[in-house]
Structure 1
Amino acid sequence: MNKNTQRTIDLVNRNLAKRYRAEKRFRFYGLLSISFGLLCLVLLFTDIIGKGHSAFLQTYVALDVHFDADVLGIDNIDDETQLTVANYDGVIRKALLERFSDVRSRRDKRQLYALVSNGAGFDLQDVFRERPEQWLGKTETLWLLADDDVDTYVKSRTASGEAFTGRLSENQQRWVEALIADERIEKRFNTIFFTSGDSREPELAGIRGAIMGSLFTLMVTLVLSFPIGVAAAVYLEEYAPKNKWTDLIEVNINNLAAVPSIIFGLLGLAIFINFFEMPRSIPLVGGIVLTLMTLPTIIISSRASIKAVPPSIREAALGIGASKMQMILHHVLPLAMPGMLTGAIIGMAQALGETAPLLMIGMVAFIVDIPGGATDPATVLPVQIFLWSDSPERAFVERTSAAIMVLLAFLIVMNTLAVWLRKRLERRW
């Protein structure tokens, strides 16, 4: 072996060693990036779950409530008006005063009454109206909803007795500790969070109204976007001539997929609300706006699915006498449907998590009632999270995190369904 050959081999070996080192560094940087991303995700989930898990529990106070007819103002239990306007808060306050008989001043009484939620009277009304003849004049031990400050205090209380006092006075803390010592305070599963609409009082606030608003909005979006998106994809792939106009349409569809979502909100505000004068804050308008936003995603995924169908399928269908329409409806669309459904589900998941376009069309309103249809005033889950995150009460912090957990659960389920459908229904050619 001469010197030139040896130099060439040494040079090749050095270059190979350098290339291998570069490849190892590249792999290391890739693993480092993935690890960093997973770490951030774990920290995010840990923070959200750590703050939000307590929202699924709610504090209740046990009181010996005497349904005094004089205090309630009821002399005829068959009179629905009397049952409706009865002084249920009065019997709750009387029960509190009997439990803490040393309370005398007006200021202390107000602090004592504040231990129980403002909505406890409505709960008591529901209980009483079921069997008024059984409850009137009797004393029963009932579990009533505690105020959000008491709820926060109880949830943050450690084994050593330390807790977040917040706005509770020393007297209120002493009364709460007395109730805890008598085992008259307990935490139960917070059904209110899933069965009620929004409220100014944290302990009465729930996400049912937002979930129903999201459901109606997504229904409108799906009904409009999927047929239009599939029809547009079929036309562009099977019928549209290849010229500068179709090229322009394809470029604009791809560009619309990257447009910030708030632009669609401005478009909906200008056209549907200002020009057509449709009502603000209804799922119908929200669904139309989200349809415009999700259409590019559905069209692009549907076109990709149609392209993936082998040309031999089309040729075989046409060869046995099928028309072009029959070839598309009976052969191409059924084979492309798994990919189309996957794109639709991903588009719906994207629409479910959107906030900005819905803020622009007024779905940021404070809605207490549960919407019953697409034309009733409503908000959606992401906007509900936005509203709660801006509330000053500490109890809304945990409810904000809990609502985020519910939203993430929906998104994970929808994306998992999309992956499952693709794996389950796709065909490899």
Structure 2
Amino acid sequence: MTDQTQQAERVRRSLKRRYRKESRFRAYGMLAIAIALGALAVLFADIIGKGYAGFLKTTITLEVDLDPEVMYLDDPTDPKQVRMADFVAPLVAAADDALPGATEEDQDALRRLINPYASTELRAALEQNPEWMGTTRTMTFLAHSNVDVYVKHEDDAAYSIKLSEQQQAWVDDLVERGLVDTSFNDVFFTNGDSRDPAKAGVLGAIVGSLLTMIITLLLSFPIGVAAAIYLEEFAPRNKITDFIEVNINNLAAVPSIIFGLLGLAVFINLFGMPRSVPFVGGLVLTLMTLPTIIISSRAAIQSVPPSIREAAEGVGASKMQVVLHHVLPLALPGMMTGSIIGMAQALGETAPLLLIGMVAFIVDPPTGFFDASTVLPVQVFLWAGSPELAFIERASAAIMVLLAFLMSMNALAIWLRKRLERRW
């Protein structure tokens, strides 16, 4: 009886140790998840904290006197006169009128409150509305990028204010009077890249990304699905197919920059294709995405029960009919999910596109697959390396746009999987 009691006690102690170990293991797992979620929260807080200001623009409203004598312009419809006209003088005069305390010595300081492209906007407005000549118009222009930084980050020590004390006092006065204001930055979504942060936008990068993704999808999805069907349904099991399968799995783990080197060597140096165009970018991303699509498509084909094939063969269907009419429709949801995830991965790639020259300064959005363009990840890379602090918030805002695209694509993949999958 004593031995049984001792043995029962040993079992209880053993169970207690086992339960303690299990509790510690669960605690370690929860701690790891908490650390990961904390790091993710810090990352998103940092990106949003820096990027939200990129969705705001600072504008200045002025009463512009369109005096022909000041502008040296009599006829706005005469291209020769327009080329020789002075569109800066009326803007400086309007800023001078808005700030009664300014003197003639302050003209340069006043000019630096207005965006350098304001004169171009004034010129375009006069060309479209020549009847404005000789009148006074209330016009709103983008403020200078230094004014933009000051208005949005006046109390942020991380941003150095490049305005003089006099200019800061002028801006504060204009803000109090409602002549300097912040609003939603539609310029960020309607403009391409620019040397001036206030005029810089992501439209060119978004269009370039879409064109590149179209090429990638049109090439990678049919090729990847066809390769998966052949390897899974038709290829004989021998050393050659084993070698191919091993290499496909290895290619899925190859760093993306290697595909960039391959694209540079083959598409550009060997075939002489142009650099920095969506077509070549799509070809490079196709090479990178194919292993992922092939692997996910094979997994989707393998998930189709053998009974489907046996039933189709039992009623006299050929091998091709079994695959095309029965296996492929059932495996297609899984193939689409894997393809969308592969496309999302390609959308966020930067290294392979850098090697094929998609780092061009693009002002106008591309209109075709062979126009010079850039993509969102590369645009973020360019802005993040800029010495202008105002570009930092533009880079963070572009990251938020890129994350929105990636989350949307992953959400679409999850929805398709839930909507179309079949349980056996």
What is the aligned counterpart of 1:308 among 303, 308, 313?
A: 303
Equivalent positions of 1:374-413 (< 5 A) are 374-413=369-408
Q: CA deviation at 1:127?
A: 2.6
1:80-128 CA distances to partner (integer Å, 9 max, x unpaired)?
554566432232122223334554455x322210100111122223333
Name the counterpart of 2:123: 125
Q: 1:421 to 1:162 in 2, by over 3 A?
A: closer
Equivalent positions of 1:147-186 (< 5 A) are 147-157=144-154, 166-186=161-181
1:241-299 CA distances to partner (integer Å, 9 max, x unpaired)?
00111111100000000000011011111111111111111111111000000000000
CA RMSD between the two structures: 1.8
Name the counterpart of 1:12: 11
Distance in 1 (CA, whole Å) between partners of 2:413 and 2:176 is: 52
CA contact (8 A) 2:76 2:126 kept: no
Q: CA deviation at 1:367?
A: 1.4
Distance in 1 (CA, whole Å) between partners of 2:271 and 2:160 is: 52
Distance in 2 (CA, whole Å) between partners of 1:123 and 1:428 is: 60
State yes or no: 1:282 paired with 2:277: yes
Q: 1:230 to 1:399 in 2, by over 3 A?
A: same
What is the aligned counterpart of 2:414 among 407, 411, 419?
A: 419
Could you tell me which amino acid in structure 2 is paired with residue 418 of structure 1? A
Name the counterpart of 2:108: 110
1:157-215 CA distances to partner (integer Å, 9 max, x unpaired)?
36xx9996611112211221221232211111111100100011100100000011100
CA contact (8 A) 1:221 1:288 kept: yes
Q: Secondary structure at the match of 2:162?
A: coil
Distance in 2 (CA, whole Å) between partners of 1:199 and 1:144 is: 16
What is the aligned counterpart of 1:138 among 135, 138, 141?
A: 135
Q: 1:327 to 1:85 in 2, by over 3 A?
A: farther
CA contact (8 A) 1:165 1:173 kept: no
State yes or no: 1:54 paired with 2:22: no
Could you tell me which amino acid in structure 1 is paired with residue 149 of structure 2? T
Q: Secondary structure at the match of 2:3?
A: helix
Q: Secondary structure at the match of 2:88?
A: helix
Name the counterpart of 1:360: 355
CA contact (8 A) 1:212 1:370 kept: yes
Distance in 2 (CA, whole Å) between partners of 1:302 and 1:92 is: 62
Q: CA deviation at 1:221?
A: 0.4
Q: Secondary structure at the match of 2:309?
A: helix
CA contact (8 A) 2:344 2:406 kept: yes
CA contact (8 A) 1:257 1:296 kept: yes
With 173-182 and 303-312 compared, the bigger mean Cα shift is at 173-182
Count of paired positions: 424
Name the counterpart of 2:71: 72
Could you tell me which amino acid in structure 2 is paired with residue 271 of structure 1? V
Alignment TM-score, normalising by the size of structure 1: 0.95
Could you tell me which amino acid in structure 2 is paired with residue 33 of structure 1? A
Equivalent positions of 1:328-339 (< 5 A) are 328-339=323-334
Could you tell me which amino acid in structure 1 is paired with residue 135 of structure 2? K
Could you tell me which amino acid in structure 2 is paired with residue 109 of structure 1? Q
Q: Secondary structure at the match of 1:116?
A: coil
Q: CA deviation at 1:142?
A: 1.2
What is the aligned counterpart of 1:221 among 216, 224, 238?
A: 216
Could you tell me which amino acid in structure 2 is paired with residue 45 of structure 1? F
% identity of equivalent residues: 59
Distance in 2 (CA, whole Å) between partners of 1:8 and 1:426 is: 53
With 326-335 and 228-237 compared, the bigger mean Cα shift is at 326-335
Distance in 1 (CA, whole Å) between partners of 2:394 and 2:208 is: 18
CA contact (8 A) 1:84 1:125 kept: no
Q: Secondary structure at the match of 1:19?
A: helix
Could you tell me which amino acid in structure 1 is paired with residue 246 of structure 2? V
Distance in 2 (CA, whole Å) between partners of 1:391 and 1:400 is: 10
Q: Secondary structure at the match of 2:62?
A: strand
Distance in 2 (CA, whole Å) between partners of 1:117 and 1:378 is: 26
Gaps of 5+ in 1: none
State yes or no: 1:340 paired with 2:335: yes
Name the counterpart of 2:235: 240
CA contact (8 A) 1:60 1:144 kept: yes
1:29-75 CA distances to partner (integer Å, 9 max, x unpaired)?
01111011111111111111111101111111111101112333332
Distance in 2 (CA, whole Å) between partners of 1:188 and 1:214 is: 27
Distance in 1 (CA, whole Å) between partners of 2:180 and 2:158 is: 15
Q: Secondary structure at the match of 1:232?
A: helix
Q: Secondary structure at the match of 2:60?
A: strand
Q: Secondary structure at the match of 1:167?
A: coil
Q: Secondary structure at the match of 1:88?
A: coil
Name the counterpart of 1:193: 188
Distance in 2 (CA, whole Å) between partners of 1:321 and 1:162 is: 77
Alignment TM-score, normalising by the size of structure 2: 0.96
Q: Secondary structure at the match of 1:58?
A: strand
Could you tell me which amino acid in structure 2 is paired with residue 427 of structure 1? R
Distance in 1 (CA, whole Å) between partners of 2:298 and 2:398 is: 35
1:353-411 CA distances to partner (integer Å, 9 max, x unpaired)?
00011111111121112111111001100010000001111111111111111111111
